Amino acid sequence: MTTTNNTKYLLSIVGPTAIGKTSLSIKLANYFNTEIISADSRQFFKEMQIGTAAPTPSELAAAPHHFIHHKSIEETYNVGAFEKDALKKLNTLFKTHDVVIMVGGSGLYVDAVTKGLDHFPDVDKSIREKLNAQLENEGLEVLQNILKVLDEETYNTIALKNPQRVIRALEICIGTQKPYSSFLNKNKNNRPFTTITIGLTAEREIIYNRINKRVDIMMQEGLLDEVQKLLPYKNLNALNTVGYKEIFNYFSKEWTLDFAISEIKKNSRRFAKRQLTWFKRNENTLWFDYLTDLETILKKINHEINKE
- pLDDT at residue 109 greater than cutoff 90: yes
Phi, psi of 198 (to 5 degrees): -110, 120
Enumerate the known binding-site residues: 15-22
The per-residue pLDDT for 149 is 95
Question: Can you tell me the distance from the alpha carbon of 267 to that of 262, in angstroms, rounded to the nearest whole number?
Answer: 9
Confidence of residue 162 (pLDDT cuts 50, 70, 90): confident
The model's pLDDT over 7-40, given as tens digits with 9 standing for 90+, comes to 999 999 999 999 999 999 999 999 999 999 999 9
Out of 49-63, 112-126, 138-152, 272-286, pick the least confident.
Answer: 112-126
Give the contacts of 154 (CB within 8 A, at least 6 positions apart): 147, 169, 179, 180, 181
- Would you list which residues are annotated within the binding site for ATP? 15-22
103 pLDDT higher than 90: yes
Share of the chain above pLDDT 70, in %: 97
**Tally: H helices and E strands in the chain:** 13, 6
Mean pLDDT (whole number) for 195-220: 97
Where residue 189 falls among pLDDT bands split at 50, 70, 90? low
Classified as helix, coil or strand, 118 is: coil
Q: Is the pLDDT of residue 117 over 90?
A: no
Binding residues for substrate: 17-22
Element (DSSP H or E) covering residue 203 = none
Q: Contact at 8 Å (CB) between 90 and 2?
A: no
308 pLDDT tier (thresholds 50, 70, 90): low
What's residue 271's pLDDT? 95
Residue 265 has pLDDT above 70, yes or no: yes
The pLDDT of 148-177, averaged and rounded, is: 91
Give the per-residue pLDDT at 307: 78
Average predicted confidence (pLDDT) for the chain: 93
| 2 has pLDDT over 60 | no
Choice among 49-53, 146-150, 187-191, 231-235 with the minimum mean pLDDT:
187-191
| CA nearest to 55, candidates 36, 73, 74, 28 | 36
Q: What domains lie within the chain, and their CATH numbers? A: 9-117+188-306 (3.40.50.300), 125-183 (1.10.20)
